[in-house]
C-alpha cells in the first residue's frame, strides 16, 4: 500500500472525427472498447473506458455531440455534450497534427469557452509531421484558448501517451476508486433517456428546481411485445424539491413522464412505458449518479 492519496475523476475526450480519439482510448485501456470507425458519430455520449492503476482511476467519457449538429437529435446531443463538459474534471481536446486548425475546431473551441473545466490540448499523429511543424501548430493553438496543458502524442505509436496520463493524474481530485478495474459497459441510450427526463423536470419547474438534480435510470428493458420499459429515479437534494417535482396529487410528475415518454419513444422508435420515482438524497455525488445513468453498478 502507498501513502499517497488515491485520485479519480472523469475525463471527456472531444475532437473532430478521425483525429484518433478511439485509437488513444484503445491504447490506454488496452482493449477494443471504443468503436474505431471512419464514420463520424458511430458512438454516442457514453463512458468509453475506465483506466485503473494503483493510485488513480480515470473514467473516460465520449462526447461526440460536440460536433456541429447535423441531424434531428443534433441539438439535443449538443446540449448533452455541453452538460457533460461542465460535469467532468478535465476535457481532452484532441486535434490532428496533419490537418491543423479547421472550422470544426473553431466550433469546439467556442463551446469550450462556455465552461470552466480545464482543457488539455492533445495534438495527435505527431508521427506524421516534422518537429518544426509541431512548434508552429502549438503557437497557433496557444492563441485560441488558455489550455491547461498542450501535449503532443502519437496514439498509434504510443509516443508520449504515458506522459499525458501522468499529467491527467496530476489534475484529478482525490477520490475513491469508483469501479472495478475491469468494468466496462456500453449503454449509450441510458444517458440520453436520463437527460430527456431531466430536461422536462427543469423545463416544467422553471427556477424552483436547481440544475443539480440528477436522473438515474434504474432499469431499461425491451419486452417481447417490443415495448421498452424504463424505470427512472429523479434525485433531488431537499424535501421541498421533492414536493415540487411530484406536484399536487402527482400532477407535475405525471406531466414530466408524459412529455419525456413522447421524446423517448421518438428516440428509441418503440412504444415506451415510463415509471418515475422521486428520491431525496442530500449531498449526493453528482458523478456517482451519472455513472449509474450510464449503466454502471457499484
Binding stretches for K ion (CB under 5 A):
37, 42
The whole-angstrom separation of Cα 287 and Cα 178 is 10
Minimal CA–CA distance to 68: which of 55, 81, 57? 81
Crossing angle of helices 74-87 and 188-205, rounded to 10°: 90
In terms of CB distance, is 14 or 214 closer to K ion? 14
Is 37 known as a binding-site position? no
- Partners of 232 in the β-ladder: 217, 276
Q: Binding to Mg ion by residue 22, rule CB under 5 A?
A: yes
Is 125 known as a binding-site position? yes
| Min dist. Cβ of residue 185 to ligand GDP (A) | 19
| Min dist. Cβ of residue 168 to Mg ion (A) | 19
Stretches 13-21, 67-75, 97-105, 150-158: which one binds Mg ion (CB under 5 A)? 13-21
In terms of CB distance, is 69 or 247 closer to ligand GDP? 69
Partner from ligand GDP, K ion, Mg ion, none contacting 156, C-beta within 5 to 8 A by type: ligand GDP
Q: 97-136: which residues touch ligand GDP (CB under 6 A)?
A: 124-125, 127-128
| Min dist. Cβ of residue 45 to K ion (A) | 13
Q: DSSP H helical segments within 30-156, as ranges?
A: 74-87, 103-112, 131-142
| Min dist. Cβ of residue 186 to K ion (A) | 14
In terms of CB distance, is 36 or 266 closer to ligand GDP? 36
The whole-angstrom separation of Cα 63 and Cα 139 is 26
Look-up: residue for cell 418503440?
270
Q: How far is CA 274 from each of CA 66, 193, 255, 262, 269, rounded to the nearest angstrom?
A: 28, 10, 12, 10, 14
Is 102 known as a binding-site position? no
Is 247 known as a binding-site position? no
Is 271 known as a binding-site position? no
Measured in whole angstroms, the distance separating CA 264 from the mean position of its chain's CA atoms is: 19
Mapping DSSP to helix (H, G, I), strand (E, B) and coil, where does residue 32 land? coil
Taking CB under 6 A as the rule, which mask of x and - marks residues 149-168 in contact with ligand GDP?
-----xxx------------
Is 18 known as a binding-site position? yes
Q: 1-40: which residues touch ligand GDP (CB under 6 A)?
A: 15, 17-23, 36-37
Q: DSSP H helical segments within 88-224, as ranges?
A: 103-112, 131-142, 161-171, 188-205
C-beta of residue 97 within 8 angstroms of C-beta of residue 126: yes
| Min dist. Cβ of residue 81 to K ion (A) | 14
Binding-site residue numbers for GTP are 15-22, 62-66, 124-127
Which residues in this chain contact Mg ion in the complex, by CB under 5 A? 21-22
Amino acid at each position: 500500500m502507498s501513502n499517497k492519496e488515491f485520485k479519480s475523476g472523469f475525463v471527456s475526450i472531444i475532437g473532430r472525427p478521425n483525429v484518433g480519439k478511439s485509437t488513444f482510448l484503445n491504447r490506454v485501456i488496452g482493449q477494443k472498447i471504443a468503436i474505431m470507425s471512419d464514420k463520424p458519430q458511430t458512438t454516442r455520449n457514453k463512458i468509453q473506458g475506465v483506466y485503473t492503476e494503483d493510485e488513480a482511476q480515470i473514467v473516460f467519457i465520449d462526447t461526440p455531440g460536440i460536433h456541429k449538429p447535423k441531424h434531428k437529435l443534433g441539438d439535443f446531443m449538443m446540449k448533452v455534450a455541453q452538460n457533460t463538459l461542465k460535469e467532468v474534471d478535465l476535457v481532452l481536446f484532441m486535434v490532428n497534427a496533419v490537418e491543423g486548425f479547421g472550422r470544426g475546431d473553431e466550433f469546439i473551441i467556442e463551446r469550450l469557452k462556455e465552461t470552466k473545466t480545464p482543457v488539455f490540448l492533445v495534438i495527435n499523429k505527431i508521427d506524421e509531421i516534422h518537429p518544426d511543424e509541431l512548434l508552429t501548430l502549438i503557437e497557433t493553438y496557444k492563441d485560441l484558448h488558455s489550455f491547461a496543458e498542450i501535449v503532443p502524442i502519437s496514439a498509434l505509436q504510443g509516443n508520449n501517451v504515458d506522459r499525458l496520463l501522468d499529467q491527467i493524474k496530476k489534475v484529478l481530485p482525490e477520490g475513491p476508486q469508483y469501479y472495478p478495474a475491469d468494468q466496462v459497459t456500453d449503454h449509450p441510450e441510458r444517458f440520453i433517456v436520463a437527460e430527456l427526463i431531466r430536461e422536462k423536470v427543469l423545463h416544467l419547474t422553471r427556477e424552483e428546481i436547481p440544475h443539480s438534480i440528477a436522473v438515474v435510470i434504474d432499469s431499461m428493458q425491451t419486452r417481447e411485445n417490443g415495448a421498452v420499459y424504463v424505470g427512472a429515479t429523479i434525485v433531488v437534494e431537499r424535501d421541498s424539491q421533492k414536493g415540487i417535482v411530484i406536484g399536487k396529487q402527482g400532477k407535475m410528475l405525471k406531466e414530466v413522464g408524459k412529455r419525456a415518454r413522447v421524446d423517448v419513444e421518438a428516440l428509441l422508435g418503440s412504444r415506451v412505458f415510463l415509471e418515475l420515482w422521486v428520491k431525496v438524497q442530500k449531498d449526493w455525488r453528482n458523478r456517482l449518479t451519472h455513472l449509474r445513468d450510464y449503466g454502471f453498478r457499484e
